[in-house]
Structure 1
Amino acid sequence: MRKTKWFDFRNFLYNSSSTSSMKPRPIAAYSFVPFSPVAMLDPTILTIGGVVLGIAFIEQILSRWGVIDLADQFEKVMRFILPVTFYGALFYFFATFMF
């Protein structure tokens, strides 16, 4: 229990106290943004993204060269691989990231 201090009103109003009556308490501050965008430069995520972009680039080249059948096969594969890769990389990022 704290000890109560009594002050005369005139002394309180005209004489500022040199010491604080309350001790400062440490405040635990937490950040709402726990990660830096630099953390996205993980080599594993960059490698996975590079492979996916490379396959998409090859598909575009094949369609420009007129090899439509092979480009369609790449498209069917990419329709499955892109969402799986995205969610896998997202899971990997949050599983290995130190909060």
Structure 2
Amino acid sequence: MRKKHDSTFRNFFHKPSFNSSTKPRPFKAYSFVPFSPLAMLDPTILTIGGIVLGIAIIERILERWGVIDLVDQFAKVMRFILPVTFYSALIYFFATFIF
């Protein structure tokens, strides 16, 4: 037969709390923002961006000089190179970035 324990409402809510018998386990905390803007200062990313920016500046200079046929050739090449460069730099960045 089980032992019956009577307690009042007041005693139930005001009794001292028991210490937990389980020990707290250490856990790894992860940040919800694993991305640092300073990580974009990778030398490879900056080099690729500088080359693309340099080609764009050269294209504008040639346009001002009136060499339109050469500018058209640059535009045709850049229409392919810019998206490929952007996506390859993006893949490189996420492949080398340590989360």
Category of TM-score, reference length = shorter chain = 0.7 to 0.9
| 1:82 matched to 2:82 | yes
Q: 2:6, 2:35 → 1: CA distance?
A: 49
| Aligned match of 1:3 | none
| 1:61 matched to 2:61 | yes
Instruction: Supply the AA of the counterpart residue of 2:41.
Output: L
Normalising to structure 2: TM-score of the pair?
0.77
The Cα of 1:95 is off from its aligned counterpart by 1.1
| 1:34 matched to 2:31 | no
Q: 2:30, 2:96 → 1: CA distance?
A: 21
The Cα of 1:44 is off from its aligned counterpart by 0.5
Q: 1:15, 1:73 → 2: CA distance?
A: 85
Normalising to structure 1: TM-score of the pair?
0.77
Unaligned runs of 5+ in 2: none
> Share of identical aligned residues, percent?
74
Unaligned runs of 5+ in 1: 1-5
The Cα of 1:7 is off from its aligned counterpart by 8.7
**SS of 1:89 mapped into structure 2:** helix
| Larger relative contact order (Cα-Cα within 8 Å, sequence gap ≥ 6) | 2
Deviations 1:8-43 (A, max 9, x none): 4433333443x5446545454332322211101101
